[in-house]
Structure 1
Amino acid sequence: MSRNFLSRDGLGVFPRTCIAVAAASLIWLPSATFAQERAGVSVAQIAGPNIQHQLQHVLNHAVSHSKPNPGAALLAISTLKVRDEGDQPVTLLVVGTHSQSDNAAVFRNTPFGIASITKIMVAALTFIYSERGLLDLDAPVLSLAGDNDWLLQHVSNEKFRGNLETLTLRDLLAHRSGLPDYWDGEAFLAKWREAKDKKWNPGELIDWAGRQAPDCAPRSCFNYADTNYVIVGLALERLTGRKLHEQLRKEIFKPLQMRCSWMFFEEPAPQGCAEPTHSYEGDLDVTDNRMQSADWSGGGVYSTLEDQLKLLRGIFDGELISRESLADMQRWGESDLGEEIVYGLGLYKAKAGPGMTLIGHTGIHNAFSFLWVEQNVLITGSLNQSNNQGLKQLVFPVVRVLRDGGGYVEHSH
């Protein structure tokens, strides 16, 4: 089972290669226009019966490609600005059952693993602290807490240690540290597969990554790696003296009233929340496997459709971070994630076609949370199965349906 970005975050199943970018020629592309400055489509345009029919067709088609075990598919679509409708998704569609072993229905409040969408939250948390003057995104990460033993004690490879000396939080959030991903280490993967009931701690993850040599010098290549976000998570814990899941709850979940979001394996689910839907990686049900704790700050949060809409509004409508911070998160640089995809800090931008620019993130089990930039529409959901191409099979077709007013039909192959 590959754990690289392209399979882990719903873009496909192609091998990931590191793209080299000379520091002097690093391309920062202009950030997107702020979402709150556009009117966007209306509720009526999204909720029309023809649109609903076509969206259901697209969702059914995507599920048919989720083999061998299709997970429950969830899809929510809403306008960025919510007024009289209340905080409700304009469109909510579900297909499938809670798991392959029972026929329990899934609902709008059914939690699911959002995996690497967690990176949006970790990046936002970092910017919240930056706005308060608690940290400098451009200072060496080793200087944040007064000493460097908290990180270097986990690193045995000298070249890896060399990279750490000049790395900043910005480098890590942008995946430009040059550090290897612990998921790419064959020895780690063998241990991870073997120890299905093991609860991983962040230091162990850095220990495994720290045995490998860097992929490149700092800021000279893009290399998507959960290692980067684990280091950020450890740095924030060191800085605040609080566990990362406690920080997420205090600074993001509570302010945005994300009532059924939590860091799996680190804390219990909030009271009153439904049982999570099951997630599959091929034919393996990974929902209750403690091995998934190895995602941590790179992808360890469970959430709901409603909470994901709240997160997107908090990011793009100014409730959680400032306009300046959002612009910084959207300082796009080249990536190796696919055609028309550029990465910022915890967000990436994908161009699906004319008038179809998406900003957000995806996760291993084909979870997705995006702002459709041109129309101020939020799209979130999951296929709960890693054996698929969520962007191509679901997200892009959904946007085409909305763009074309229901005239687009995704044909079976």
Structure 2
Amino acid sequence: MSIRVRRFRTGLSAAVTAAALGTLLSPAQAANAGPDAPGGHPGHGNRLQQGLERLVAQDDGPPGAIAVLTKRGRAEVYSAGVGDTGTGRPPSPDDHMRIASISKAYSGAVALRLVDEKLLSLDDTIGDRLPDQPADWHAVTLRQLLQHTSGLPDFSADPEFLNILQSDPHHLFDPRDLLDFVADQPLRFRPGSLYEYSNSDNIAVALMAEAATGRRYEDLLKDLVYRPLGLRQTSLPLGYRLPRPYLHGYDITPPAHAEDVSEAISASGVWASGGIVATPKELGVFIRAYGGPALLSEQTRKEQLTFRPGDSSEPAGPGTNAAGLAIFQYTTRCGVLYGHTGNFPGYTQLAATTPDGTRSLTFSINTQTSKSNKPALLARLRTVEEDFACALLKDR
């Protein structure tokens, strides 16, 4: 997600521009932890913990961070700092949080499950399924939308959209009308010829899923993703409120104090491209299924995992990135993971899994960073993420 909040100390953080959890058990306590219990690993726990603490200690760093390593049903939870500066409460794996553009993987899951059910095809076009959209867009395929090679202009960078958010951050958009902000604009390039990350892509994906089934996207999420995976703390709210308890998100602009922006912006303006709320625990369940073999047929998964080298998620994940269909390949110094990242005011997220779906990493910090917003913090974050990726991949 590429929405950013800037600070106005005289009131709510409202100027919006386009740019883009339980208590921690120490490594020693982990020896007594059962399956799915928080804990560390005697071999690498201290080093990983120190990496998190150094990240939080940076002047422009997040107030808190939480990473959950899951290996064949056993969870190791690492946290540093606080999930709420008002109470000092640490981050918890059961805290709700905005997962930002990882939401795109959920719209990918819906679309690809419909492909498996023969209700959609990756070669279906906007013209086939959404004929009321601009004629210039009609040749764009579902495959191109999922891989960000569509050329659709990004509604979240449109001046009118941004002006509405500037004047009313809690504005309730009709998410099915978000593409109207750029309906007068031509494609940015010939579909399939280039890669350009666009929030419009997954709005169109959700609309195509609705058109193919005659059902609301929210209901498709429940039936095709939440229920099969047992996700009870995952939702797609349209308003600005978060379910309790939640990981508070902050705008950090030194030397000013951290400003809570958790509920500063309505999620209706991001919807299928960035509006999902989940807990670290449930995010791990999802990414193991979506990045592993559990959710899709072998043939559809083969299409999902056809990667374009060098095309990165936003923000970039650890190691070298390559883009698949609503999923990315992260080639780290220790091996390969599949996953997705996201950033939103107050949050930066990573969810990744081993290709066999048996291990996962979720990594959350409660401030926003991207290539255009605190790039130095992003570089430090990616280094720590790769250390955690290596801990996940070693001793397999």
Both proteins in one fold, TM over 0.5: yes
Number of residue-to-residue matches in the alignment: 344
Matched, 1:148 2:131: yes
CA distance in 2, matches of 1:66, 1:263: 33
Tell me the SS of whatever aligns to 2:51: helix
TM-score, length-scaled by structure 2: 0.78
CA distance in 1, matches of 2:308, 2:392: 28
2:197 corresponds to: 224
CA distance in 1, matches of 2:391, 2:59: 21
CA distance in 1, matches of 2:251, 2:200: 21
Native 8 Å contact 1:54 1:401 kept in 2: no
Letter in 2 for 1:148: P
Tell me the SS of whatever aligns to 1:380: strand
Matched, 1:299 2:299: no
Task: Give me the identity figure in percent.
Answer: 22
CA distance in 2, matches of 1:301, 1:291: 12
Correspondence list, 1:1-80, <5 A:
3=3, 47-65=40-58, 67=60, 70-79=62-71
2:81 corresponds to: 96
Native 8 Å contact 1:177 1:219 kept in 2: yes
Matched, 1:366 2:348: yes
Letter in 2 for 1:137: L
Q: 1:127 aligns with which of 98, 106, 112?
A: 112
- Decide whether aligned partners of structure 1 residues 217 and 385 sit closer, same or farther in structure 2, where only a CA change above 3 A counts: same
Native 8 Å contact 1:357 1:374 kept in 2: no
Deviates more, 1:122-131 or 1:390-399: 390-399
Unaligned runs of 5+ in 2: 5-18, 21-35, 254-258, 370-376
Correspondence list, 1:5-404, <5 A:
47-65=40-58, 67=60, 70-79=62-71, 81-82=72-73, 88-89=74-75, 91-144=76-129, 148-149=131-132, 151-152=133-134, 161-162=135-136, 164-265=137-238, 274-283=244-253, 284-337=259-312, 340-353=320-333, 355-364=334-343, 365-373=347-355, 377-387=359-369, 388-389=377-378, 391-401=381-391
Native 8 Å contact 1:366 1:383 kept in 2: yes
RMSD, aligned CA: 3.0
Unaligned runs of 5+ in 1: 5-14, 17-42, 83-87, 153-160, 406-413
Q: Residues 182-218 of structure 1, C-alpha deviation per residue, up to 9 Å, x if partnerless?
A: 2233443233222212012224421112243322111
Deviation at 1:261, TM superposition (A): 0.6
Q: Residues 342-376 of structure 1, C-alpha deviation per residue, up to 9 Å, x if partnerless?
A: 101000112232x3322100010221101245995
- Decide whether aligned partners of structure 1 residues 317 and 130 sit closer, same or farther in structure 2, where only a CA change above 3 A counts: same
Tell me the SS of whatever aligns to 1:94: strand
- Decide whether aligned partners of structure 1 residues 207 and 313 sit closer, same or farther in structure 2, where only a CA change above 3 A counts: same
Tell me the SS of whatever aligns to 1:341: strand
Native 8 Å contact 1:245 1:266 kept in 2: no
Letter in 2 for 1:392: R
CA distance in 1, matches of 2:146, 2:125: 13
CA distance in 2, matches of 1:363, 1:196: 20
TM-score, length-scaled by structure 1: 0.75
Q: Residues 279-306 of structure 1, C-alpha deviation per residue, up to 9 Å, x if partnerless?
A: 2344553321343331110111111122
Deviates more, 1:320-329 or 1:247-256: 320-329
- Decide whether aligned partners of structure 1 residues 321 and 203 sit closer, same or farther in structure 2, where only a CA change above 3 A counts: same
